[in-house]
Chains A and B, each alone.
Chain A
């Protein structure tokens, strides 16, 4: 049995625009292996889906948005030949340059409705009656430069008066929470920090949570489809927390589900932070903060 493998020189597979992906195709076979060609294709695609919720189930099925090609590169590494038994390594290089009209390579991202993926695919074509060997591997693109996170703290107060969409102000138990977020433009790789103080609360509190929301907006001929997803929920207070004691707000952004905020003509990816206070009687109060994520 022959196997084929793509081995990249960078173990974490993270690349930046303009860099050259280097690596090798490793073919391992116990017997000598004849082939017709060995080729390598690299492509980057932003795939968009319309949410069933916003445009209807049927629509979403056939009205999917055409994927946007961001990057493409294909090379033939070897023409017809024979590989002797054992391990053979065929080195390759792929320069990372955006495709035609695309100005820059978007970051790798995998969401529910939007995904940006970069794949390298290797194909070893073999003579008739033999199965071709293929192997695919993903590389991750990150921005090389971009907006920088700022350090402007945002202060907030949550109390019955600050709640806007309550049915009736009277039913809300009296409470007062104040706090501060250290920034609303946050660096992805650094934790989000701040502090929260429960100054008073009539009802006992069950928990205080940080909810990280992602809002994906996909442009379609019919307008925009906007979808929010909770991507992380972190408890920072559990039980009836001590009054007047500063509880730290601390959250690390999830690597898989977070990316720098993106705004392109076709789609947008934005993030929001909710501070949720749950009382012992299951009442829930949530305060929303739009935040911008950057790589730097």
Chain B
């Protein structure tokens, strides 16, 4: 790239056009965004001040209320004295010493708050902290316990004389059987609370664990604790703890009973609708509790469950409460009685707030018993506990207050008057007055304040101090204003009484209230008097030191109620009141409070603004605050102090008297020099002042005003340097500079800017705030933008400030981050652009102003010259910048040269790319070669081609899977790398289309001659496998699913197995006594398995031992025994011409573990035994059908089916993955006349969704749920070796509505043996216990006369009607099929021989074969119906049996198949049994049946050649069943 030089030119800007745009931008500024002209500190400080002010205010208010309520002598918990922000935190705070209550409280809050206006919760919170005792309960309680125990025995003797036994029984509830409560007596207060808490938990636990009596006992014992009033200080708290527990109990009982009444409103219980059982339980509880012996526990516990009475009878609750109220009269101790009444009124309030009567009677009863406190027992007790009467009475107040507040809740005035009258009549009524006043509504009290006052003054205050009453009265009057005429009289009256109070604590407690009264309703004059009196009272002996909190409250009261600060400070006693706060901390706190109030309440700044007294007072206050700050003060203190002072200063306003305002600020600066924020505020205020003045004179300063603004500028200039924070400093310099400029003090402004420039470098390292631009940068841009308006200094030359700024920047070196400095330069550029405009707004306006005002032409000239000069300077700067640009250009050129160097590299790159493509070409060629090589490999089948492949595949099956489908030799490594070495095998890919067969050859030539000796086992033939070790073979077999080896022995007059003549040896060298094709361990050859040997008596053809060539051959398939390692022969003596020929096939293995197999049947044919889940893929891995995991039940394969047979009946598929499909098979039992066993089915169905119980071969299954089900039954096909000649069983299907849990009997038909008829498949629904209803039945297929092939004598498929088919009608000798569930007739034959039986029907047995030639005699096929005589040992559905001369069995299949006879098939089972056949004829198929009343969409066809099976599929919900269920319910 060629180097380009650009000339720098300023962009022309039309400001007037931009105006709108800019305004839009300006308005977008949010208030909290940084703006240089905005006095940030001030707003912030005012915010802080307000919030903290509120906090303090609420604190102190709460303190005041708290201290009102706490009486002098009570123990005051310091924690509870803290503020109460919300009920929850207060609950935790206040009750910190008593966790028990705390936990309970939270539960109750809602309940209490909603239940009544009179809040029990508040009451509790009030009482608990007041009535605690830090003395341990132990001592005093112990003494009581001792005396109590002493007393008891005498009495017990008398009582026990009545009847020990009965007493025991009655006393069950009374006695202290639980050790837990007994321990209570020795506890300290804290322990006591914990104890109650844990009892509370135990109670709930006991309740939940159904130990209802235990929980009742616990409750009673706890209630009993209230009898003991020995430690009276604690009694109210104890009362609350125990009543909490009672409430828990009450609600438990209520909830339990209520839970039995469904759908009732707890507030409106209708007894008539409560169920009897609930009433019974309720009554039980009530009676149980009514029999509690002791009075007090009885009252409490009855009260706790009083609500339950509502279950029995309407309004029972109310009458019970009234009765309980009356019962409290029996309590001797007035305190205990009073608290019992309190609980009753609480219960009343909670459940029946509308019923008021009993509250009043509560109170009246108390008034009657009130005099009791003078009786000797009580007086003795007081003396014993060293409690004076006053504090004793104070234990009454909370309870009294509660009761009275219940009385007064929504009460009519007349009631209250009546109550008051009552109080008046009895003696010592101050405590009553006190309670009345504090409980009654304030309006009522206020209206009668004067009367009450008079009554109080008349009363005798020996026992109960008056000041408490006065305090309560005062509080109420503050709430509501008394009649205006009475106000002063009341104050005078009370104060008269108050003056007499000697105890300073009592005095101040009360005075606090009345000061508030005075401040609220009177002017400063009266308040002043009151204050004077307080000072008089508090001064002696410096008692005020002890009551700083109360005194502080006084200040707060005055501040709250006298918003006018002028009048506050005019009170001469107010500041002298401050003298009482001697300690520094206190005074500062008070001052802070005053400042807060001032800031908060003085909205109206003009009113008090310039009053000298107020200001001096406030200055005093502020100074005090200021002086409290020292080097050791913490950050928060400093912030709050400065914000308070700032707040005050901002409020003080002298209006138009600017001079005075300025001098005030000067004074302030002197006073508050220590606080940066205050100074900053002062500078802001002065700037504001200056701005205001400029505004007033509209920019035209007079001599006086200009002097004033200069003074302001000077003030700022002097003040700013004393600030510590450089950012503030810089900001203030800028601000002051701008103000000075506006006020036309150019010189001053210059000085400001210069000073600002001096500090600018301090800002470099300001910490960046997130999400804002770099602070330094923002300050700089602030500075630069204000420079735009600054006129140039005539002496210093054009753009002096900018230049010095640039100097500073360029000298700063690495202090400024390069990106920042770059940004600064850009900003300078834009500044210069603004400068260079011909018409600039800002500047011209200022200049015009000044020219207008001064009319100073010279100045204009100078300005013009300046402009000119400025232009020149701009040129200079331009040149400078151009130079810089040149420098950059040089750098660029350098870069270009680097680029030149890069060019050869690029050439290299292209070269490389070319190389790469060549390599790729080569690679492709190689690939093509590889392909052809691979083709070669497969075509040639040359093993050596494989030898260079490192990794060998495990078996031919896998090789085939990999796509090599041509047979040939291959190296395989069955156990992968390691283990046995890879070895060479032949892969047969052609025989089995689904898998490759691994073939291991042996060294035995086919038809090897065996001849030479006579003794059994005398001739040994060892079998060696070509270059393959036994370990390698084992490895192969272990990964293969199936292996086989063909074995054949041709014999000429040579025995094989008979007499142990010959045998073969297994892998482990064990002697094996069976031959290929026979079951392992059977000792037979293949022909022996079905008795078809040459000599039917022998087990092998060869064993006939005749002089002709015979042979035995078959496959060995037991993987655990293969391969054959050796064979031993005998009976092949050369001299006798005996000889044999041996052929041992290769060992062939197929399928790998985890490989898909074509079918279960294939597996079974391959000799795999056992039940396991296999991946079945009928069309191979490449076919469209996805493989499925099926459980294959593979019984030992003993049949004579050749490997080519496509018979599918050799494996059972039992598992499906469909959750709604239930598949029932014969569990692998077939063929045979007996059904499967329970164990067999359970193991077959393992892992499937079918669960059955098998009874006598019938599978009992319960319908899983209501619904529609589609049932398919398949009866097994007939028995024929050639598949398409097999007779077909019926397949019946249909939909049924079944009810859940109904028992179904499922009988899956089985094939018979050879000539035996097949059974039918039945699905029978149980109706109740015994009634069977067949739903769907498919008939079995008839048998054939030549099941092994040969002549085709015809077959008979199952019948698709309910009537069965008859046997073949050759000669009319076939048996007739049954009809309507009947059995088939037996077939016939001349002379009774070879007669097959008929199939059984559902109702009747099949006709029995009359053949009596062989024993055991044939049995008939049994009917399927289950109601056969239970005594009959034969299971229903059992097939007929027939044994042909002990050689072969021709049993019928399970499911009613008839027995066959030689060459004559038996009739099939079904709904009706098929008729038996005749020799060389077929037998009849069974009838099928569908219950047409229940089925829909049914279908029957004779199509099944496979096994019997039942499939039941859940289709969905059944409306019919649901309807039925509803009707039945």
Q: Could you tell me which A residues sit within 8 Å of B by CB distance?
A: 11-12, 84, 86, 112, 191, 204-205, 207-208, 228-242, 245-248, 250-252, 254-255, 278, 280, 282, 284
Contact = CB atoms under 8 A, between A and B. Distances in A.
A232 B170 contact: yes
B1329 A230 contact: no
Contacts of B158: 284
A245 B293 contact: no
Interface in B131-175: 151, 154-155, 158-159, 162-163, 165-167, 170
A278 B333 CA distance: 16
B331 A204 contact: no
A238 B287 contact: no
Given A247-B330, A252-B287, A233 B170 contact: yes
Contacts of B276: 11-12
B365 interface: yes
Interface string B280-304: 1000001100110111101000000
User: Which residue of B277, B293, B294, B329 has the most chain A CB atoms within 10 A of its CB atom?
Assistant: B329
Interface string B361-380: 00001001100100111000
A259 to B, nearest CB: 15
B332 A238 contact: yes
B291 A236 contact: no
Contacts of B376: 204
Contact of B327 (A84, A86, A250): A250
A187 to B, nearest CB: 15
Contacts of B167: 230
Given A241-B330, A242-B369, A11 B162 contact: no
B277 A239 contact: no
B287 A234 contact: no
Given A239-B331, A250-B323, 5 more contacts: A204-B376, A231-B166, A242-B332, A248-B326, A284-B158
Contacts of B1464: none
Nearest to B152: A282
A248 B163 contact: no
B649 interface: no
A198 B571 CA distance: 63
A241 B287 contact: no
Contacts of A235: 293-295, 298, 330
29 contacts: A11-B277, A12-B276, A230-B162, A230-B163, A230-B167, A232-B170, A232-B291, A236-B295, A237-B295, A237-B331, A238-B332, A239-B333, A240-B377, A241-B331, A241-B332, A242-B329, A242-B334, A242-B368, A242-B372, A245-B369, A246-B326, A247-B327, A247-B330, A248-B323, A248-B326, A250-B323, A252-B287, A252-B291, A284-B155
Contacts of A282: 151, 154-155
Interface in B299-334: 323, 326-327, 329-334
Contact of B329 (A84, A240, A247): A247
B672 to A, nearest CB: 69
Contacts of B294: 235, 238
Contacts of A191: 290
B1238 to A, nearest CB: 15
Contacts of A278: 155
B227 interface: yes
A11 B368 contact: no
A192 B151 CA distance: 31
A207 B330 CA distance: 9
B287 A254 contact: yes
B427 to A, nearest CB: 15
B291 A254 contact: yes
Contacts of B290: 191, 251-252
User: Which residue of B162, B167, B276 has the most chain A CB atoms within 10 A of its CB atom?
Assistant: B162
Nearest to A85: B1329
Interface of B: 151, 154-155, 158-159, 162-163, 165-167, 170, 227, 276-277, 280, 286-287, 290-291, 293-296, 298, 323, 326-327, 329-334, 336, 365, 368-369, 372, 375-377, 1329-1330
- What DSSP secondary structure best describes chain B's contact surface? helix
B377 A84 contact: no
A84 B1328 CA distance: 10
Contacts of A112: 163, 165-166
A238 B327 CA distance: 11
A245 B370 CA distance: 12
A238 B291 contact: no
A238 B337 CA distance: 10
A207 B333 CA distance: 12
Contacts of A207: 295
Contacts of A208: 330
Contacts of B165: 112
Contacts of A236: 295, 327, 330
A278 B152 CA distance: 12
A11 B166 contact: no
Contacts of A280: 377
A233 B1329 CA distance: 59
Given A84-B1329, A245-B365, A248-B323, A238 B166 contact: no
Contacts of A239: 331-333, 336, 377
Q: 9 tightest A-B contacts by CB?
A: A239-B332, A237-B330, A252-B290, A240-B332, A235-B295, A248-B326, A242-B369, A230-B162, A84-B1329
B393 to A, nearest CB: 18
Contacts of A255: 287
Nearest to B155: A282
A237 B332 contact: yes
A238 B295 contact: yes
A235 B174 CA distance: 12
Contact of B293 (A12, A86, A234): A234
Given A230-B163, A235-B293, A240 B330 contact: no
A248 B327 contact: yes
A246 B291 contact: no
Nearest to A233: B293
Contacts of B326: 246-248
Contacts of B151: 282
Contacts of B295: 207, 235-238
A191 B287 CA distance: 10
Given A229-B162, A236-B330, A238-B331, A245 B368 contact: yes
Contacts of A231: 166, 170
Nearest to B151: A282
Contacts of A228: 162
Contacts of A237: 295, 330-332
Contacts of B368: 242, 245
A269 to B, nearest CB: 15
B291 A229 contact: no
A231 B171 CA distance: 11
Given A229-B163, A247-B329, A252-B290, A238 B296 contact: yes
A230 B330 contact: no
A180 to B, nearest CB: 14
A204 B377 contact: yes
A248 B276 CA distance: 31
Nearest to A209: B293
Contacts of A232: 170, 291
Contacts of B159: 233
A239 B170 CA distance: 22
Contacts of A251: 290
Nearest to B289: A252
Contacts of B293: 233-235
A46 B176 CA distance: 36
A234 B291 contact: yes
Contacts of A238: 227, 294-296, 330-332
User: Which residue of B326, B365, B1330 has the most chain A CB atoms within 10 A of its CB atom?
Assistant: B326
A232 B330 CA distance: 18
A207 B154 CA distance: 15
User: Which residue of B287, B296, B330, B375 has the most chain A CB atoms within 10 A of its CB atom?
Assistant: B330
B320 to A, nearest CB: 10
A230 B331 contact: no
Contacts of B377: 204, 239-240, 280
